[in-house]
Every structure is written in C-alpha cells, then in structure tokens.
C-alpha cells in the first residue's frame, strides 16, 4: 500500500510539473491564428443623381467576402462571386449586358468603398437609369 501511495504521489508531481511547464510555454508564446486571409469588406450604395458626392443615397448595404460571404447584402455569396469573377475590378462589372433598357436619362450612381482582398478600394459609377444598373451588375448592386 505504501508503494502504491508513493507511486501515486510521484506521478501526481510529474503531472503537475508537466502542466506548469506547458502553461508557462503557452503564456510565453501567444496563440497564432490558424489561417490568414486578406480581408474583403465593402460598403455599397445606390443613389439618385449624377455625382457621387451629391447623389441622394437611396439604399446602402455592407458586403463582407472574406473569410466568408456576409453582411447586410441580401445575396452576399452571389455578390462576392461577381466580384471574384471580375478579379475585384469594379469597372469590368459595369459593362452593359444583353438586356434591352429604355433610353431614358434618370441617373443612378453606385459606390463601393472599403477593402477588397487586403487593398483599399473606392469606386463610383453613374448609370443612365436603374435598368442599365441592373443589367451591368445583377447581384452586386441589387439590394
């Protein structure tokens, strides 16, 4: 019985020493993140008018694409997909599609400000009307 108690005491002492050593190691080196990603978070607006500085903002949404699609945008996965397919180049997203739109001048200005894959972006574009805007970037500015 004495040998069993002595063995138990030795093993307890070893366990305490090991735990104290690993706690000291953990305190000495801060936890590293498991994976790094370039942040992508944008504030998108749709406004009435020609000039982004003076356009009346009708709607606004936030869009976060990294680490996962999210934000207040109603379709973040689709919007992030459009941006990824355009390699973050907003100008390539505003090219007219194949939808027929009326030739009415009722300017709509869209803006995107924030960070895309770790780099600061600020973009604005004025469409002739809401139909032309929906034709160019169906998911990104549909909110």
pLDDT band at 36 (very low <50, low <70, confident <90, very high): low
Q: Which residues of 47-73 are buried (b: 16+ CB within 10 A; e: fewer)?
A: beeeebeebeeeeebebbbbeebebeb
pTM over cut 0.75: no
Q: Which residues contact 72 (CB under 8 A, 6 or more apart)?
A: 61, 62, 143
**Which domains occur in the chain, in start order?**
40-141 (3.30.350.10)
pLDDT band at 113 (very low <50, low <70, confident <90, very high): very high
């Amino acid at each position: 019985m004495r040998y069993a108690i002595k063995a138990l005491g030795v093993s307890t002492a070893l366990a305490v020493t090991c735990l104290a050593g690993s706690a000291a190691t953990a305190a000495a080196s801060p936890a590293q993140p498991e994976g790094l990603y370039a942040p992508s978070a944008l504030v998108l607006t749709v406004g009435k008018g020609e000039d982004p500085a003076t356009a009346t903002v009708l709607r606004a949404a936030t869009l976060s694409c990294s680490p996962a699609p999210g934000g207040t945008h109603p379709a973040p996965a689709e919007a992030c997909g459009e941006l990824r397919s355009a390699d973050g180049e907003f100008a390539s997203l505003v090219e007219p599609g194949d939808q027929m739109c009326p030739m009415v001048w009722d300017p709509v200005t869209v803006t995107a400000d924030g960070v895309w894959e770790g780099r600061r972006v600020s973009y604005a574009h004025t469409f002739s009307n809401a139909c032309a805007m929906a034709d160019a970037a169906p998911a990104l500015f549909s909110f």
